[in-house]
Structure 1
Amino acid sequence: MKLYDITRELFSTAIYPGDPVPAAEPVNEIRKGDAFNLTRITLGTHSGTHMDAPWHFIPEGKTIEEITLEQTIGPCHVVALEGKVTREMLEPVVPKGCERLLIQGEIELTCEGAGYLAEKRLQLLGVEGMNVGSEETCTEIHRTLLGTGMVILENLDMSKAAPGQYVLVAAPLRMKGMDGSPVRAVLMEGENLHLTPKCETASASGNGRKLVLFDL
């Protein structure tokens, strides 16, 4: 099995205009005589490689802790596109039944392209840019996509992964009531990697949530 880390380093990546700047401040330091190192970090919910929850743009949408593991972990299709991505560009490259789609390249999803992906009922869409659309279409496109219950990954780095089929692992932090979260996104590839997930109820927590497992 081969793993591709498609996450950008948090403190060195570009920052979307107006977003909080990630920062780290030592609280305890061994070099100053403390028994351990401890650091305070400050950041935004959309810092670095991150996930947009529907509540980011949809008032009645799910917040980040309501997003299931099944939605963020599973079979994924990676395609390479450039420029303004229209419906006509997406139709031949999005496989039937695709639930998770990642788009490589410097793209700007058009409103009609977003409408097509909404029709496909994707669970997850990921892009390498800091915004899935342009500044002018940002609100409309986010509402179109997130309004279906889809989640969006932004600011990915897929430079080392070729287009094709993978298993994606991109779980957000479990933070109640939040509109988004940084993620550590990973693509898994391998001949013995079964792309069909099997789910088992996690009984230890007693909260009815499910743990997604894969046969390796």
Structure 2
Amino acid sequence: MTAKWIDISQPLSSRIAHWPGDIPFSYELSFTKEQTGSVNLGQLTTSLHTGTHIDAPFHFDSRGTTVLELDLNVFIGKARVIDVFHLKEIGAAQLKALNIEGSERLLLKTMPNSQPYVFPEKATPLHPDLGPFLKEEGICLIGVDVPSVDLFDSKDMAVHHSFCENGVHILENIVLDHVTPGDYELIALPLPIEGADGSPVRAVLRPLAND
């Protein structure tokens, strides 16, 4: 029997946390079936970095590639979930001590419980030396269960730039509470938004069959 897909996305609703000062998510019916005589029509307003999303390089580099220019193959394929909640910092030295050999995409479980409706006060720091290390390990994507791979007050976005310079793509605000560490198939496709700096995704995992 084929394993079921596991949703690791934050549900989008008016209650979901957003970056302080950014545009919150909202959905409402513009027209009801009673008004149109045939269908309900909804509309949404949101920042592209609310909820589970990917960052395009254009987000932190005005000359960087936009969402529509990204290689979709990066967001589909083998991924490894690892538990790093016990670490005070996550850098090359820390990941070298863990089993990441053979990973293509790395999803980091940094919190024991996700809180989609509360913007976190802090997160486990990621070190910029991860970029070259992940490239050396052949990893093309890193996912985190917090709103950003950089510290929330960062202005230089050193970790974002390190990942970009080393071909490592970024997936943020995933939910791994209910996911056992191990190897999975990941689908986290961005929407084809022309010129965009990021995109919401519906991120899902499916356990890889044992050989």
TM interval, shorter chain, is 0.7 to 0.9
- Corresponding residue for residue 28 of structure 1: 31
Runs (5+) with no aligned partner, structure 1: 195-216
Partner residue of 2:137? 120
Instruction: Tell me by how many angstroms 1:94 deviates.
Output: 4.9
| Unaligned segments of structure 2, at least 5 residues | 112-123
Question: What does residue range 43-54 of structure 1 map to in structure 2 within 5 Å?
Answer: 43-54=46-57
Post-superposition CA distance 1:64-109 (Å, at most 9, x none):
1111221100001110102321322111325234221100123321
Q: Could you tell me how far apart the structure 2 residues matched to 1:89 and 1:73 are?
A: 26
Residue aligning to 1:65: 68
CA RMSD of aligned residues (A): 2.1
Are the equivalent residues in 1 in contact too, given 2:185–2:208 (CA < 8 A)?
A: no
Counterpart among 14, 17, 20 of residue 20 in structure 2: 17
1:158-169 maps to which residues of 2 (within 5 A)? Answer: 158-169=176-187
Q: 1:16 to 1:94 in 2, by over 3 A?
A: farther
Q: 2:172 aligns with which of 154, 167, 191?
A: 154
CA distance in 2, matches of 1:119, 1:44: 33
Superposed displacement of residue 47, structure 1 = 1.7
Give the TM-score normalised by the residue count of structure 2.
0.82
Three-state SS of the structure 2 residue aligned to 1:85 is coil
Which structure carries more strand by proportion? Answer: 1
Q: Pairwise mapping of residues 64-213 of structure 1 onto structure 2 (< 5 A)?
A: 64-82=67-85, 83-106=88-111, 107-137=124-154, 139-191=157-209
Q: State the match for 1:8 in structure 2.
A: 10
Q: 1:137 to 1:114 in 2, by over 3 A?
A: farther
1:108 is paired with a residue whose SS is coil
What one-letter code is carried by the residue in structure 2 that aligns with 1:108? P
Aligned to 1:56: 59
Instruction: Identify which range, 108-117 or 173-182, moves more after superposition.
Output: 108-117
Partner of 1:42: 45
Q: Is the 8 A contact 2:131 2:168 kept in 1?
A: no
The whole-number CA distance in structure 1 between the counterparts of 2:164 and 2:107 is 16
Q: Please say if residues 166 and 188 of structure 1, whose CA atoms lie closer than 8 Å, have aligned partners that are also in contact.
A: yes
1:182 partner amino acid: P
Q: Distance in 2 between matches of 1:136 and 1:38?
A: 38
Q: Could you report, residue by residue, the CA deviation over 1:18-42 in whole angstroms, capped at 9, with x for unpaired residues?
A: 2211112321102456321001111
TM-score relative to the length of structure 1: 0.81
User: How many Å separate the matches in 2 of 1:98 and 1:190?
Assistant: 13
Amino acid at match of 1:55: F
Of all paired residues, the percent bearing the same amino acid is 34
